[in-house]
Amino acid sequence: MELKHLQSWIVAIVVIFGVSAITALPSLDRLHGLDIDALHWLRENIAPAHSSPASSPTVIVAIDEQTYVTPPFIGLPKVMWTQQIGKVQSAVLGGGAAAFGWDIILPTSASTYVADRRFDQALLRSLLKSRKSRRVVLGSTQLNAAVIGPHRTFLFAAGGAKNLRSLNLNVDDDGIARGVPLTFNFADKGGAIRRVPSMALELAARAKKQRPDYASGPGVKLGEDHIPGSPDNVLTLNFDGGAGAVPVFSFADLHQCAKAGNKDYFRQNFAGKVVLFGLVLDLEDRKISSNRLITRPDMAAQPTVCNTGYAAAAVGATARTAAPGVLLHATAVNNLLRGDGLDQFGAGARFLIGLPLMAIIAFLALLYRPPLAITATALFNAIWIGLATFAFRSAIVVPLLDPIVGSLITFFTLLGYRFMVVDKDKRYLRKAFSSYISPNLVKQIVEDPKTLTLGGRRQECTFLFTDISGFTTMVEANHPDVLTPLLNEYIDGMIEIVFEHGGTLDKIVGDALVVMFSAPIEMADHAERGVRCAARMDAFADAYSEAQKAKGIAFGHTRVGVNTGMAVVGNFGGQNLFDYTALGDAINTAARLESVNKHLGTRICVSESTVAGCPNFTGRPVGALVLKGKTYAINVFEALSPIEAGSPGIAAYNEAFAMMEQSDPGALDLFTRLQTTQPEDPLVKFHLERLRRGDTGVTITMNEK
C-alpha cells in the first residue's frame, strides 16, 4: 500500500472513532430524544402501526371543554363536583373496570366551604366501597419540595397511602416529556430507601393482578414480562398515532348516563379496562411529548356517546403540539400491559453501532468521486432511516440522528482532507493536462498517476505538424472580426480530431498545431494513431476550406507532416511557468515534413519510421529526402486512402517510381505519359521536372524548408 493511501486510512480510522465517540457522549442525549420524536413521525407516515381503539387496555374519562358548558357543571367550581364524580366513578367500577386512576387532584373538600358536611358523601362512599377491591388509585404530584395530594378525607376513604401514587412525568433537558417513571424512591422514617410504583405501573399491576418485581438494574418485572427502563428507571413512551388510539369519554356524557342508570353502556365500554380520570382541556395540563409531530384532535374518533341528547364537543377539532397529561399516563399503562414500551440502546451500544456506519461513509468519501459519494451517502442515510423506522414498529429505538449527523461530519471531514491532501496531485494533473490532451487521457492520468512521468524521459513518440497554406495572405485580407471566429472554429475541429485519436496537443502556433502521440501515456500503436489522425484532419480541413471558399474566403489547404522517433518528453520551464513538450530531432523532422509538402504539392508527408509502425499503411513513396538542415536522407511517403492507393493511376506511379529508383532512363518516358493521363498529380509533375533537369534516382536534397 502506498504511503499516501495508508495515511488516508489512518486519518479515516481516527475520524471514525472520534465521531462515533462524540455522538455517543451524554451531552448529546438531546439527539437521542429527537430520535424518538422523529421516529414517531416516520413510522406514522411510512409504516403506521395502529391498534383498534376497542383493543386499548386503557380508556380516559375526560373533564373536557364540553363538560364545563353542560349542566350542572356550568359555573360550578370543580371542588363542588364530588357528587357527580362519585356517581360516575361508581358506575364505571360497577361496569367492571379493572382499575380507576385519578389524574386530577382535589386538595380541598367542599364540606370545608358549605354548611352541609355530608356534601361529599357520594364520592366518599364510592371510595370506601372500592377499598376492598383495591381498584381506585388517587394521584399526587411533587412541585419542587412541596407535595400536592388529595384532601385527607378522600385519601382516608380510598385506603390511605397504599392507594396513592405519584403523577410526576419525566421531562428531558429540552423540555419534552418522553417518559413516565416506573418507580420513585422514598425514604422511610428509618432512612431506608424504598421503591414505590408510579401511577402507571400501579394501575398496570392491579389490572394484571401482579405485584411489581424490582430486579436489580433498570426496568421492572411484572409477572412474566420484563419492562425495559432507562438507567433512571423511566419507561420511554411508545405512542400509537391512530385516531382514538386511547378512547376518550366525556365526563359530562357519562354523568348523564349514570344518572339515567344505563348500566349496559358502562359494562360495554369499561369492563376489564384501566380507567384514567383526568383533564382534556384546551390549555390546562398539557405536555409536549414525543408524539408532538403526530398529534390528532383531542376528541378524534370519540366513542359513541351514551346520551343521544348529549351535544358532542365541537371544540378540540385542531391537533395541538401539546398533548393532555392524562394521555401520557394512559399511553404508559398501555405500553406496560402490551409490553411495547420503547427499548433504547445505551451509550456503549450506540458507539458500537456508529463504528461500522462511519466506516462505510469513510469508504465512500475516500474512494469515490464527490458527486457519486454524496449520492451514495444520501442513499445510505435513506436506507438507514428506513431500517430505523421499521425497527421502531417493534418498539426498538435504533439510533437515527447520531448516524446521520455522524455520517455528515465524517463525510465532510474526510472530503475536506481528500480535497486538501489526497486529491491535490489529481487536481494538479487535471489542470496541467486538460488543455492539451483528450478528456479520456486526463481521466486515466488522474485515476492512475503511475502511467505518467512528468519529469523528462527519453521515449519513442509520433509527432504531427499542421499548417495552412497561404495563411499570412488570408490574415492580411480579412478583418479580425472575420478571421478570429474562422480560425477558432477550424482549430476547435482539428483539436477534437486530435483528442479522438488520443493525441496530446503540444502547442498552437498561429494556425499551426503541434501534436504528439504516446506521451504522457505510452501507446503501442502511436504511429498508426498519428497516421489515422493526419488522414482525418486532411478530410476535415479540405471540407472546411471548400465551405469557406463558397463564402468568398480564400482559405488554403492544410499541410501535415508525421514522423516517429526518439525524443525527450517532459515538463520544461522555470519555477513558476512550465510547458509539457518534447525535444529532439524527431520533432524537427516532422516540422520539415509538413513544410516540404508545399514543394512537393502534397498534403500529408509521412516518414519511413512512422510507416514502419503502421502495418496497414496505405500510400505511395515520395523519395529519399535530405531535409533542410539534415545531412542524411529519409524515405518519405504520401499517405493515401485505401481507395486512392489501389487506383490504376497510383499503380502506374509506383511502377514509374521503381524505375526511377533504379536510375532507369525509361523512367522519364513513364512520367511523361503519366502527366498526360494524370495532369493534376503533383508528384508526377515534381519528378518529371527533376528527370528533365537530368536528376536520377530518388534521393532529393531539399534546400528550403
Q: Which amino acid is at 289?
A: S
Q: Are 358 and 414 contacting, i.e. CB atoms less than 8 angstroms apart?
A: no
Residue 430 clears pLDDT 80, i.e. is over it? no
The pLDDT value recorded for residue 424 is 59
The pLDDT tens digits of the residues spanning 210-261 come to: 888 776 556 677 777 777 766 678 899 999 988 889 999 999 999 999 999 9
Residue 499 clears pLDDT 70, i.e. is over it? yes
Question: Can you tell me the mean pLDDT for 614-625?
Answer: 96
Q: Are 240 and 51 contacting, i.e. CB atoms less than 8 angstroms apart?
A: yes
Question: Can you tell me the mean pLDDT for 134-138?
Answer: 95
The three grid cell numbers given for residue 693, joined into one nine-digit string: 533537369
Higher per-residue confidence, 597 vs 414: 597
Q: Which residue has the cell 489522425?
A: 533
Find the DSSP H helices in 551-700.
585-600, 608-612, 642-645, 648-661, 666-677, 682-693
d(CA 211, CA 203): 11
Which region, left, alpha or beta, applies to residue 217 given φ > 0 means left and ψ of -120 to 50 means alpha?
Answer: left
Higher per-residue confidence, 454 vs 26: 26
From the number of C-beta atoms within 10 Å of its C-beta (0-12, 13-18, 19+), residue 285 rates as middle
Do you find a cis peptide bond into 520, omega within 30 degrees of 0?
yes
Higher per-residue confidence, 572 vs 451: 572
Among 428-442, 574-588, 639-653, 673-687, whose mean pLDDT is lowest? 428-442
Per-residue pLDDT band for 377 (boundaries 50, 70, 90) equals confident
The pLDDT value recorded for residue 316 is 47
d(CA 157, CA 163): 10
Q: Which residue, 228, 333, 239, 251, is CA-closest to 287?
A: 239
**Radius of gyration of the chain from its Cα atoms, rounded to whole angstroms:** 47
The pLDDT value recorded for residue 440 is 55
Question: Can you tell me the mean pLDDT for 52-76?
Answer: 93
Q: Which residue has the cell 499503380?
A: 651
d(CA 17, CA 49): 36
The pLDDT value recorded for residue 455 is 60
**Beta-sheet strands, E only, within 176-247:** 177-181, 183-187, 193-197, 212-213, 220-222, 225-227, 234-236
Question: Can you tell me the mean pLDDT for 464-474?
Answer: 94
Among 312-326, 360-374, 392-406, 659-673, whose mean pLDDT is lowest? 312-326
Q: How far apart are the first and last CA of the chain?
A: 53
Per-residue pLDDT band for 415 (boundaries 50, 70, 90) equals confident
The three grid cell numbers given for residue 700, joined into one nine-digit string: 532529393
Q: What angle do CA 547, 548, 549 make, to 5 degrees?
A: 95
Buried b / exposed e over 559-573, threshold 16 CB at 10 Å, is bbbbbbbebebbeee
Q: Are 610 and 563 contacting, i.e. CB atoms less than 8 angstroms apart?
A: yes
The pLDDT value recorded for residue 311 is 58
Question: Can you tell me the mean pLDDT for 162-177?
Answer: 91
The pLDDT value recorded for residue 67 is 92
Q: Which residue has the cell 399526587?
A: 140
The pLDDT value recorded for residue 346 is 78
Per-residue pLDDT band for 698 (boundaries 50, 70, 90) equals very high
The pLDDT value recorded for residue 3 is 42
Total count of residues recorded for the chain: 705
What does DSSP say about strands 99-102 and 274-280: parallel, antiparallel, or unpaired?
parallel
The pLDDT value recorded for residue 315 is 41
Question: Can you tell me the mean pLDDT for 271-294?
Answer: 93
Mean per-residue pLDDT of the chain? 87
Q: What percent of the chain has pLDDT over 90?
A: 58
The pLDDT tens digits of the residues spanning 620-634 come to: 999 999 998 888 999
The pLDDT tens digits of the residues spanning 643-697 come to: 999 999 999 999 999 999 999 999 999 999 999 999 999 999 999 999 999 999 9
Q: What angle do CA 198, 204, 207 make, to 5 degrees?
A: 140
Q: Which residue, 473, 537, 471, is CA-closest to 503?
A: 537
Q: Are 560 and 537 contacting, i.e. CB atoms less than 8 angstroms apart?
A: yes
CB atoms within 10 A of CB 484: 11
The three grid cell numbers given for residue 480, joined into one nine-digit string: 479580425
Question: Can you tell me the mean pLDDT for 411-429?
Answer: 70
From the number of C-beta atoms within 10 Å of its C-beta (0-12, 13-18, 19+), residue 307 rates as middle
Residue 1 clears pLDDT 50, i.e. is over it? no
* Strand ordering across the sheet containing 220-222: 212-213, 220-222, 225-227
The pLDDT value recorded for residue 372 is 87
Question: Can you tell me the mean pLDDT for 363-390?
Answer: 87
